[in-house]
Structure 1
Amino acid sequence: MSDQLLWYTTRAAGAVSLILLSGVVVLGLLARARVERSGWPRFLSAALHRDVALLALVFLALHIVTAVVDPFTHLGITAAAVPFSSYYRTFWLGLGTVAFELILAITITSLLRRLIGRRAWRGVHWLAHAAWPVAVVHGLGTGTDALSWWLLGITVVCVLCVVTVAIWRLSAAPVDPLVRERRGAPLRAGR
């Protein structure tokens, strides 16, 4: 593989990873809001969330592997595994490593969900709320074209989608009728 092809592959895989990871976050937020109540079954939401996450991991792995083997950066395995250890754009690549390790923790605990229990899995799964913005900042600070119109446009659209759904999710009424009743109903005597 030529150096130029590696460079283009790294950039493309990074951009596709951003799009897919943003989709995973959006699907996760929608699933928590129980969007399936409108005729979209829960199992389909979970399957789509999982499948998009797995596809994102494939592109993320491609992004990391091509960046590591690219002779221009001379990153090596250590820079990909140990945050802030790279000589090349130390801070920005360190953020990418941190985001990757958070995503790796989410993936591993998701695979072990039945063994570790739902509560532990959910606690680690909350790391997605940290991993995604760290990955976005990594993308903005790394690369020769991080602030090019096309990559900046992709980033802005991804951020707007996630922020919009997060705001909607935080402001949405609870789906559970008991929670709704407790929040909206006056207290009755004897309760």
Structure 2
Amino acid sequence: MRDFFSVWTLIRVSGFLAFYLMTLSLAIGLFSSFSILKKKKARMVSAHQISGWYGLLTICFHLLLIWQDQYVPYSLAEIFIPFYAKNEPLFSGLGTLSFYLFFIVVGSSDFFIRRLGIKMWKKIHFAVIPAWLFMLVHGIAIGSDSSEPWALLLYLTSSSFILVLLFMRLLESIMLYQPAGQGKPKK
């Protein structure tokens, strides 16, 4: 039981939980943007925000645990300065960048959306895509469980699901914003 609550185990669990919550938030955000779900939008946006905040808090917990780890010690500078870590600087840096991008997206959504205006907020909000991709690469590359079949399945299904949602959203936006008269076959 003691090993279950070790720092190392909690680092791994918090990393997967953060990935799950941010994937959930991204998926709900994409779903809420579909025109056929307009009636459910308020509920979905609420779930999107809640899962995003819990994901961000879980990332913070993950960072705190990494700082406290004795096996692979990280200094605060290594945690907060991208690509500065001695251990896997590229992939640690992608994790750090992911954290910053998620922080900006979540923070701007809840605290600065009115000041930014909807157009600027949307531009900032799109940073969630590279943030999620950086998180995915970070987890696959330096996660100690990444070679396990269950972890590979988690990453593969999550990635596939997000890609399908992004593709569907792109298709819908193309179809909805097509100028009148285009896209119809000529007789």
TM-score (norm 2): 0.87
Contact 2:105–2:125, Cα closer than 8 Å, also in 1: yes
Q: What is aligned with 1:42?
A: 41
- The reply on whether 1:72 has 2:71 as its aligned counterpart is yes
Report percent identity of matched pairs.
Answer: 19
Q: Which aligned pairs between 1:25-40 and structure 2 lie closer than 5 A?
A: 25-37=26-38, 40=39
Q: Per the alignment, do residues 113 and 183 of structure 1 end up closer, same or farther by CA in structure 2, a change over 3 Å counting?
A: farther
**What whole-Å deviation, never above 9, does each CA across 1:69-88 have from its counterpart, x for those lacking one?**
11112112111211000001
Shift of 1:173: 6.1
1:34, 1:44 → 2: CA distance?
14
Structure 1 position 23 matched with structure 2 position 24: yes
How many equivalent pairs are there?
182
Within a 5 Å distance, the mapping from 1:1-191 to structure 2 comes to 5-37=6-38, 40-110=39-109, 111-172=111-172, 179=177, 182=180, 184=182
Cα distance, 1:153 vs structure 2:
1.5
Q: Which deviates more, 109-118 or 97-106?
A: 109-118
TM-aligned CA deviation for residue 89 of structure 1: 1.1
1:143 CA drift (Å): 2.9
Counterpart Cα distance in 2 of 1:130 and 1:45? 22
Aligned-CA RMSD value: 2.3
Instruction: Give 1:189's aligned residue.
Output: none
Query: Secondary structure in 2 aligned to 1:22?
Result: helix
Distance 1:183 1:129, change over 3 A: farther
Bigger relative CO (Cα 8 Å, ≥ 6 apart): 1
Residues 3, 70 of structure 1: 8 Å contact kept: no
Which whole-Å CA distance do the structure 1 matches of 2:36 and 2:46 have between them? Answer: 14
Q: Which amino acid aligns with 2:166?
A: A
Residue pair 1:3, 1:72 contacting (<8 A) in 2 also: no
Query: Residues 65, 2 of structure 1: CA spacing in aligned structure 2 closer, same or farther, 3 A cutoff?
Result: farther
Pick closer, same or farther for the CA change 1:184–1:130 going to 2, 3 Å: same
CA contact (8 A) 1:79 1:86 kept: yes
Residue 175 of structure 1 deviates from its aligned partner by: 8.1
Structure 2 residue identity aligned to 1:101:
Y
Q: Report the Cα distance in structure 2 between the residues aligned to 1:120 and 1:132, rounded to whole angstroms.
A: 20
TM-score, normalized by length of structure 1?
Answer: 0.85
| CA distance in 1 between partners of 2:92 and 2:181 (Å) | 45
Task: Single out whichever of 108-117 and 87-96 deviates more from structure 2.
Answer: 108-117
- Deviation at residue 108 of structure 1 after TM alignment: 2.0
Kindly tell me: are residues 159 and 185 of structure 1, through their superposed partners in 2, closer, same or farther at Cα, counting changes over 3 Å? closer
